[in-house]
Amino acid sequence: MATSMQKLVGVSQEDDEEEMEMDVKEEDDEDEENGEKQIAAQMMIGVDEVMPSTSSSDQFQYQPQLQEQVSNQSGGGGARRSRPLEEKERTKLRERHRRAITARILAGLRRHGNYNLRVRADINDVIAALAREAGWVVLPDGTTFPSRSQSSPAAGTSAGMTSSSSQMVSQQIPPPPATLQGVSSGYRTTVEYNACRMKGVFMPTPSHYDLSSTAPAQSLGVVADGGEQTERLPLIAGSTQVINDKQIIGLPTKLPERDFAGTPYVPVYVMLPLGVINMKCELADPDGLLKQLRVLKSINVDGVMVDCWWGIVEAHAPQEYNWNGYQRLFQMVRELKLKLQVVMSFHECGGNVGDDVCIPLPHWVAEIGRSNPEIFFTDREGRRNPECLSWGIDKERVLRGRTAVEVYFDYMRSFRVEFDEFFEDGIISMVEVGLGPCGELRYPSCPVKHGWRYPGIGEFQCYDQYMLKSLRKAAEMRGHSFWARGPDNAGSYNSQPHETGFFCDGGGYDGYYGRFFLNWYSQVLLNHGDRVLSLAKLAFDGTCITAKLPGIHWWYKAASHAAELTAGYYNPCNRDGYTAIATMLQKHGAALSFSCAEHHILEQQDHLREALADPRGLVWQVLNAAWDVSIPIASENAFLCHDRAQPTSHGETEFHGI
């Protein structure tokens, strides 16, 4: 066995050496051919430049230059052909060393970075992938420039050159003073060269540097020596100069600011404090609230967003609703000519990041939970989470003769009837439907009250009797009744993917049982959203409804995407888990509200790198999933206040735009 392996290794090494020799030989041949082609091209340019001219003096002026260029090129070619053998050997060694390093880089990126590199990729592909991840546009010929999402280039002077065509004029035009020398890009549209990722597609907007045929570009008519006007060349700015057959384009020191004229208007809504309504369904501080609303009106925000808590309105008995505090609040908003976005909050408040008040589920629901704790989500250790009701009881009549979805529908219908005039007048512009913990469509996989801390992967929440009943039924339909269980090697709340047998690279998540379980787990999430949104559409007919998704960006660069899997998003590196959700929302005419929009400002922080987080990649994947099915997108920030430097504090959503 060892002998055969040595033979195999020896053959591979010999093949590498032969391949290297061929590469070096081809490089020499290419150099000679390029030299000959360049001489021929310059000869053709000389002929083309001489022919239009009617003056014999002009013709003689070009001939000495042509002869000098030919002699220089031929001399350079002779030096290349006489390169000593020792230099060729050194070139081979350098090339072998470069290839070994490239192979290690590619192997690491494929395994740990989720980069979609081709099998015979080289270092150019690596650099292009890194540039695209950073938001740059890389064309097939290597031309690289920032997309519009990038900031303007730093002030200074830089020069870039591109080869000119055979029809380029030889007259030099001086650039205007105080200009920035930039690169002339190609004439093809950037849409043809989208930066592709494993998840979704990054669609960059046209850049200031883009000279695509679809974008208007300035043009300059240039007159050649013969007096004939050449074709109008599209330019970035108003000047160009030609030096040694190279075209340099002058750019202004300050690029023009982005013009949003003609783009859709994006309204901005400010989230009111979570405790604006107290447990008696009264305004906690009417005078202070009125002052705050007047300030918001003075800065021209469009409206405010407020939670309508199930635990306050239907607190004491089933189908006994108290909307008094919200009536007064909505009147104040209408008098100030602001608009409203309302959240149907079917979860408790308290215990999560940013929760400064405690609003539990209705008392009568808590009483049912004490006698039947199976109505709450349950982890593998049997710990219950009373933050919201388990999706396993969506169709189980365990809530005083009603199912969970019937309870949600009755609540939404009562709200619609109570505030009918606000809907008719357009004061209530949107209703966000709570679908899980924190109102988000996800499992409560990362509960702080059970000890979870960032960046733990969380735990599966499918161990109440109703969820296990559904899992057992799905396993029997597949003919594998022994699959009616949760994974036993998925770690704990604060585990990391490589520490578990289920989420590690090549782990159980990608096996037959793992794929079955994750399909079922994510399908339960989809079915819950489908049921509740179908009833919300019926209750709020004619008003925009939306569902909220969280930005679970940690471990996004790991192959398994473990934190997303435990939250119900079947989104490993080889599968798109957000397209099905977007399609479900499109079915009900619902918008997608995403709460990870500003996390790109944190990308350079150490804790994100250590957790293999990729907020920008996640954002683009979710946005592309929504754009593919043409549904509106709402953006919620996850911090109270943030700027270009860093966020100042964690908190509940503050601004909301759609």
Residues 6+ apart with CB under 8 A from 457: 491, 493, 494, 495, 496, 497, 500, 503, 555, 562, 563, 566
Check if the beta carbon of residue 476 is closer than 8 Å to that of residue 469: no
* DSSP β-bridge partners for residue 304: 270, 340
Gyration radius (Cα) of the chain, Å = 32
Which of 132-146, 379-393, 579-593 is least confident? 132-146
**Side chain identity, residue 80:** R
Instruction: Give the three-state DSSP class for 87.
Output: helix
Contacts (Cβ under 8 Å, ≥6 apart) of 574:
198, 510
How is residue 529 written in tokens? 């959203």
pLDDT at 623 exceeding the cut of 70:
yes
Query: Residue 195: what pLDDT?
Result: 37
Q: Which of 459, 462, 209, 449 is nearest to 351 (CA)?
A: 449
Does residue 132 carry a pLDDT above 60?
A: yes
309 vs 183: which has the higher pLDDT? 309
Mean pLDDT of 140-145: 80
pLDDT exceeds 70 at position 9: no
What is the phi/psi pair of residue 404, to 5°?
-65, -45
CA distance 485 to 380: 10
pLDDT of residue 598: 60
Let me know the angle formed at the C-alpha of 526 by 630 and 202, rounded to the nearest 5 degrees. 40
Nearby residues of 454 by Cβ (< 8 Å), 6 or more positions away: 554, 607, 611
- The pLDDT tens digits for 300-326 are 999 999 999 999 999 999 999 999 999
Which two three-digit tokens encode residue 454? 């960032």
pLDDT band at 2 (very low <50, low <70, confident <90, very high): very low
The closest alpha carbon to 415, from 284, 543, 317, 593, belongs to: 543
Mean pLDDT along residues 427-449:
96
What is the rounded average pLDDT of the residues 222-227?
38
For residues 431 and 342, is the Cβ–Cβ distance under 8 A? Answer: yes
H helices present in 549-656, as ranges = 562-567, 579-587, 606-610, 615-628
Q: Considering only residues 436 and 40, tell me which one the structure prediction assigns the higher pLDDT.
A: 436
Band (pLDDT 50/70/90 cuts) for residue 493 is very high
123 pLDDT above the threshold of 70: yes
Q: What average pLDDT does this structure show over 225-245?
A: 42
Q: Where are the beta strands (DSSP E) in 411-551?
A: 428-433, 544-549
Region of poorest pLDDT, from 140-154, 409-423, 491-505: 140-154
Query: For residue 332, what are the CA distances in angstroms to 322, 325, 336?
Result: 18, 11, 7
Look at the block and give the residue holding tokens 């061929």: 22
pTM: 0.62
Residue 526 exposure: Cα atoms within 13 Å on the Cβ side: 18
pLDDT digits (tens, 9 = 90+) for 446-464: 999 999 999 999 999 999 9
> Is the confidence at residue 387, as pLDDT, over 90?
yes
pLDDT band for position 367 (cuts 50, 70, 90): very high
Burial status of residue 505 (CB atoms within 10 A of its CB: 0-12, 13-18, 19 or more): middle
Half-sphere exposure (Cβ direction) of 28: Cα atoms closer than 13 Å = 17
* Owner of token pair 């007048």: 425
- Count of Cβ atoms closer than 10 Å to residue 83 Cβ: 13
Interval 73-87 mean pLDDT: 56
Task: Specify whether the CB–CB gap between 492 and 380 falls below 8 A.
Answer: no
pLDDT for residue 647: 41
Residue 136: pLDDT band with limits 50, 70, 90: confident
Q: Do you know the residue count of the chain?
A: 658
Q: Which of 52, 84, 380 is nearest to 228 (CA)?
A: 52
Residue 326: which of 360, 301, 289, 356 has the closest Cα? 289
Q: Are 355 and 449 in contact (CB under 8 A)?
A: no
The pLDDT-based confidence of 207 (bands split at 50, 70, 90) is very low
DSSP SS3 for 249: strand
Mean pLDDT across the chain? 75
> Which of the pair, 160 or 91, is modelled with greater confidence?
91
Place of tokens 């339909």: 477
Residue 575 has pLDDT above 70, yes or no: yes
Q: Which of 158-167, 320-329, 358-367 has the lowest mean pLDDT?
A: 158-167
Tell me the CA distances in angstroms from 294 to 279, 325, 334, 335, 579, one per residue in order: 25, 19, 12, 10, 41
Q: In this prediction, what percent of the chain has a pLDDT beyond 90?
A: 51
Q: What percent of the chain has pLDDT over 70?
A: 63
* Lowest-pLDDT range of 92-96, 121-125, 425-429: 121-125
- Distances in Å between the Cα of 570 and the Cα atoms of 132, 563, 567, 579 are 25, 10, 9, 10
For the record, the structure tokens of 449 come out as: 């009250």
Residue 223: pLDDT band (50, 70, 90) is: very low
Of the candidates 500, 501, 523, 383, the one whose C-alpha atom is nearest the C-alpha of residue 452 is 383
Statement: residue 657 has pLDDT above 80:
no
What class, spelled out in words, does domain 269-450+525-637 have in CATH? alpha beta
* Nearest partner of 128 among 118, 139, 120, 119, judged by Cα: 139
Q: Is pLDDT above 80 for 225?
A: no
Q: Which of the four pLDDT bands, split at 50, 70 and 90, describes residue 216?
A: very low
Structure-block tokens of residue 305? 């967003």
Identify the residue whose tokens are 């008098």: 335
CA angle at residue 618 from 614 to 619, to 5 degrees?
Answer: 115
Q: Is residue 345's pLDDT more than 60?
A: yes
Predicted local distance difference test score (pLDDT) of residue 262:
66
Closest CA to 46 of 74, 65, 72, 71: 65
Do residues 453 and 487 touch, judged by C-beta distance below 8 A?
A: no
Question: What is the C-alpha to C-alpha distance for residues 524 and 530, in angstroms, rounded to an integer?
Answer: 10
DSSP strands (E only) in 277-325: 303-309
Q: Tell me, what's the pLDDT at 356?
A: 74
- Whole-angstrom Cα distance, residue 574 to residue 565? 13
**pLDDT reported for residue 344:** 97
Going by the DSSP 8-state scheme, the letter that residue 175 receives in this structure is P
Max avg pLDDT among 65-74, 266-275, 593-602 = 266-275
Distance CA 355, CA 337 (A): 29
Question: Which amino acids are annotated catalytic?
Answer: 440, 636
* Per-residue pLDDT, 648: 37
Domain edges within the chain: 269-450+525-637
Residue 607: pLDDT band with limits 50, 70, 90: low
Residue spans of alpha helices (H) in 51-84: 56-81
Query: What pLDDT does residue 605 have?
Result: 63
Confidence check: pLDDT of 246 > 50: no
> Measured between alpha carbons, how far is 4 from 494 in angstroms, rounded to an integer?
47
